[in-house]
Every structure is written in structure tokens, then in C-alpha cells.
């Protein structure tokens, strides 16, 4: 097992820390571990990439090929990334593959929601002729205000319109 881990790219001075975090690796079948590494190579992760990923996320090799594939697919699909960008992301942050997906899903939900809200508000301000985002010009609207304030305050202070007007506008979209 130690020879296998060294072959994967874990350096001698990193073995102790790796095994302290993931002593369960000894209960894994060596052939399954080799298959998982081969799978990562088949997805064009270099030997150095795999070494970096396993060092940063010691439990990575405990995940089945199917689970790794599902995780990679999730990030590629949900973040709308190319294969290369997905690979670059998980090389930098391999714990994305081993951690819980719930916080990621929650953040994605908040981010899409926010993007949608920004788009709606921007379109409304454009319709009113008030979409002015240059701080050097009068009637500047900061991105922070565009996103963070409730609809009532947005309508009253930023759009200078009623909530009913905003709601009517949204129905036309």
C-alpha cells in the first residue's frame, strides 16, 4: 500500500499526514485503488494532478469510480464548465469531490437566484431609463444596492417607482 501511495505521487514526508487523515485506505482493495487512479488518468488528469489532488483530499481514493464520475459530472453540468475547466477546478480544490454537495447546491441556489434578481432589476431600470452603473456619473446605482435591498426599497429609492409597477413589468418578461 505504501509503495502504491508513493507511486501515486505522495512524497515520503507527506505519507504520515496522509495516513493519519485516511487510515481507512488500508481497508481498500489495492486493485480498486489502481482502477480509481487509472480512471482519473483516463479523464486526462496528469500524474502530478492526481498526486496533488490525493495529497489535498486524502479520502479521494476511497471514492468509487462511479461516485468520482458523478461528482465530476455534477460540477461540469451545474457550473456549466468545459471538461478542461472542470479538471482545473478539482485539481485546485479536490475536496469538492470528497465533501458534501449540499453546501455547494445551497450556494448555487443562492447565486442563481441572485443572478435572476439582478437581471430582473436591471431590465426594469433599463425600461425606466435609470440603469446607470458608472460611479462617475449622476444617479449611480451600485451592484451592492441592486442585489441586497428588498424590493420595496429598490422600487422606492432606486427605481423611483411603485412595487406594483415593478410587479406589472415582471409579468411582461
Note the pLDDT tens digit of each residue in 87-121. Answer: 999 999 999 999 999 888 888 877 787 888 899 99
pTM for the whole structure:
0.70
Q: What is the pLDDT of residue 148?
A: 82
Q: What is the pLDDT of residue 46?
A: 98
Cα 33 to Cα 161: distance, rounded to the nearest angstrom: 62
Query: What residue ranges do the domains of the chain occupy?
Result: 1-99, 107-171
Mutual orientation of helices 102-128 and 163-172 as an angle, nearest 10°? 100
Q: Please, which contacts does 165-173 make with residues 24 or more away whose CB atoms are closer than 8 Å? A: 166/124, 169/123, 169/124, 169/127, 170/120, 170/124, 173/120, 173/123
**Amino acid 119: pLDDT:** 94
Amino acid at each position: 500500500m505504501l509503495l502504491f501511495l508513493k507511486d501515486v505521487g505522495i512524497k515520503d514526508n507527506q505519507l504520515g499526514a496522509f495516513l493519519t487523515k485516511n487510515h481507512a485506505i488500508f481497508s481498500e482493495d489495492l486493485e480498486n485503488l489502481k482502477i480509481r487512479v487509472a480512471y482519473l488518468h483516463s479523464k486526462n488528469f496528469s500524474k502530478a494532478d492526481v498526486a496533488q489532488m490525493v495529497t489535498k483530499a486524502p479520502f479521494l481514493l476511497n471514492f468509487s469510480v462511479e461516485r468520482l464520475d458523478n461528482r465530476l459530472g455534477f460540477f461540469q453540468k451545474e457550473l456549466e464548465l468545459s471538461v478542461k475547466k472542470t479538471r482545473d477546478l478539482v485539481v485546485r480544490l479536490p475536496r469538492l469531490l470528497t465533501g458534501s454537495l449540499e453546501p455547494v447546491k445551497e450556494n448555487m441556489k443562492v447565486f442563481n437566484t441572485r443572478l435572476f434578481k439582478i437581471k430582473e432589476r436591471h431590465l426594469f431600470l433599463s425600461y425606466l431609463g435609470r440603469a446607470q452603473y458608472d460611479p462617475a456619473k449622476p444617479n449611480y446605482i451600485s451592484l451592492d444596492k441592486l442585489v441586497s435591498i428588498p424590493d420595496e426599497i429598490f422600487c422606492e429609492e432606486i427605481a423611483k417607482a411603485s412595487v406594483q409597477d415593478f410587479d406589472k413589468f415582471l409579468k411582461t418578461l
